[in-house]
Structures are given as structure tokens and as C-alpha cells.
Structure 1
Amino acid sequence: MRLAILSDIHGNYEALQEIVCDFKKSNIDSVIFLGDLVMKGPEPKEVFETLKKLNPICWIKGNTELWLSDKRTQNESINSTLKEIELYRNFAIERLSIDSINFMLGCPEKKSLTIENKTFLCVHGSPRSITEALYPNNNFKDTIESVKEDVILCGHSHIPFKQKIGNKILFNPGSVGCSYDGEADTSYGIIDITQASIDFSIKRLNYPITKLIANAKKENFPNLEAYANLIKEAKNYRKELKL
């Protein structure tokens, strides 16, 4: 089986569309989604409808899905301006149906899967918290000590990496919609699974950033200049805003 691992789409339909077009070429069988679908980004309805059609075998919520219910974590309340979050929330809610909002709010925060005798734990941030970002080359021993699965799939940091910790593998596919590793290309992960082996790879694709920003301007997306700079520079200068 060949899986596409998607995370942190953040309302970027242009990037998601580029990845979906690549699926046939890459012989993708199924999709796993690790959260943060519609905020913050200018095309919430389009990305929701596109992901729904893909029928992921796993669809979990990220921290920005919690914004749809006006729920705040302590971390976000301290480190983000509630006014800014409210702008993105209102923008998305105006463009989404009640059914689609309820669907996203009903998704689990983590899920365990078994595929070809391999076990996977799917989370957004870390096994401990939906808002805990894991970065490459860190010591994750305490973070994963209670995990029973063979592979931990996570997003949230917007930085793609694979790291082996003991007999476990931690895999982050990066961000579809808003990279933070200095490369503006969209990013997704591919996992090839057989009874005998499991292989991981990251795929980067160019997409029409100019069109994305033009669409954002047309839709009067909040904080457009800051958003455009973030997308083009692919660096999170505001780490306190837990996207």
C-alpha cells in the first residue's frame, strides 16, 4: 500500500490541488490527514470539499480546528492575540456550512491504525498534546515513552522530517499550505508499506503562489500582507502564533 500523508493545509487550495494532481503519478492508494485544514487561509471551503472527496482513512483535527468552536487552549490564549484568531475564525465560518464545521469538530485528536502488520499513531502535534510541536533532531524520549505503535505520524511544526527513536519512527510530512523550512514549495509525505518493509519519503512540489495571494486579496483575507510574506518566505517569524 502507498499512503499520502497530508498535514497543515491551512486553507491553501492551490497547494492542495497541486498535490492531488500528483497522486496519480505517484500511485497513491489512500490518504491520511493530520489536521489544520481550513485556518488560517483564504480558501476554507475549497480545501474542505477537496479533502472530503479524497476520503482519508484517517482524518484528525488540529489545533486550528478547535478555533471553529471558539475553544482556546491555555497556550494559545497566552501566546496569540484572541482578536487575530477571531478574524480568521469569522472568515472561515462565513464560507463553511454548519455540516462541514460540525464534521471537523467531530474528528478525533489522535487515531491508531494497523496497516500490513505495522501500527501507526496519528497525531497533530505530539502524542501528549495537540499544540506541542516536534522539531527534527530533538530528544523525543519523554514524548513518546508511552506510545505502543511502531510509527508516530505528526504535523504542526510545518517542517518535514523522519527520525528514528529506539525501535520507533517519527515522521512529519511538513505542511501542505504553509512551509516553515525556508522552501516555499508545498510538502507531503509518502509511505510505502509491505509485509516485509516500510519506506518513507517527502515530496516537494511547486505551486502557483501568485494565484493564491491574488485569491486572498480578492476574498479580503485578514492580515494579507503578513500572510503573503509568510507563504513566500516559508519562515515562521512569529513562532508564538501556533499555526
Structure 2
Amino acid sequence: MRTEIMGVGFDDLTLDEAASAAAGMIDAGGFHYVVTPNPELVDRARREEPFRQALNGADLVLPDGIGVVYAAKILGRSLKGRCPGIDFAGKLMEHMAKTGLRLYLLGAKPGVAEAAAARLEARYPGLTICGTHDGYFKEDAPVVEAIRAAEADVVFVCLGAPKQEYWMVKNGPATGARLMAGLGGSLDVFAGVVERAPESWQKLGLEWLYRLKKEPKRIGRMARLPLFLVAALGERGKAGKRA
């Protein structure tokens, strides 16, 4: 049973539970995909039906941003906490390193995925990264074939939203992979190109503020968070009137 937040149904799981669920999907076979919406993406999904369908059609929908957790509280609904995509990926790679599963990295600028692969294999001894491809491609077919030829079990799709979600829905089954996860700019962090917020900021749910401090040009995007919470208050008001 999912927790519906502004039209998007989230799985109410801890980070460990989410990674365990993903591991179970890999073992089960078939194709599965994971999305990690933040408030900006939930807001977009409210306005764009195809994107909302792509999010809700995922096998796992994890709350990436603290704003989603706040909205859940405003609406009187339960979420155990944030499940940032990059942390979910870390937990999953720990499992993959122990079980011999093969990972493919897709996205970011040329050279970034390769750099990320080298750092990740050093960080997770035993992890097999079977291939990489940058996100600057025009035709899907060669990328699909490359993933299939690499015999990837899991693919981290880092093309940015909504492109990565649509790409997984359209091409995932043809790749032969058993699990895909849409992870936005995670490859830049894995490669060391972008610095992540210190752990103390993460624990306080202020990773968004740290990113704003580092990239002031993001102010326009960050300003949507208060508007998102105001919209949640409006949804609660409507629900109260209907009751």
C-alpha cells in the first residue's frame, strides 16, 4: 500500500528496506525500475500526466527530498523518512559487491561515468561495473544493445528527469537488465565532480540548502519548495472540507 502525496504514490520504506526490496526484485527476474522523486518532480507530475504515470508505474517510488516527508506530515500521512537516490544506490552496491551482480552506469558528460566507475570499484571491493555510457546520445538503440551485450543486471540511469524515467519505461525491458534506477546527477557525485553536502547537513535534511550555498543559481528551483508545501496545505484543506 503506497502513501499518496500530491498524486504520486510513495513506498513507505527505510533505506535498508528499499535496498532489500530492490535485491528481491533482481532475484525474482523480469524487469523492474526505481524512481526517486523530490518535491520538484512531484510538482511536475501534478501538471504532466505522462510523467505522473511514469513515476507511479515504477516498482519502487522512494522519497528523495525532505520536502516530500514534510508534505506527508502536513497531509497526515506516514513516511518513515527520506530515501535519497544516491544513498539507495550505495546500499544496493554493497549488496551487489557481495553477490557478483553486474552494474552498468549510464549518463552524465563524457568521461564522468568512467571516472565514477573507477571510484566505485575502489569503494566497493568486489563490485563489477560491466560498462559505461555518457548521456549525450541521440539514438537509443545502440545504448540498449551496449547494455544487453554487457549482460548488466542493474543499470543506474542518470539522464535527469523526466528523460531518465521515460527512458527506463521505453527501453528497460529490451536491455535485458533486471533493475534500473533513475538517479539524476548521482554520477557526478560518484565521480567526484560535484561535492555532496556534509553528513551533518544531510541528517538535518538541509542538503538542498548546502547545494544552494554552493550553486546560488539554483535559487529559482529551490524557491519551489515553499510553494510545494503551500500546495500540500491546500490539499489538506480540501480534504478537510470533503470530510
Query: Above 0.5 in TM-score?
Result: no
Which has the greater radius of gyration?
2
TM-score by length of 2: 0.32
Higher strand share: 1
Higher helix share: 2
TM-score by length of 1: 0.32
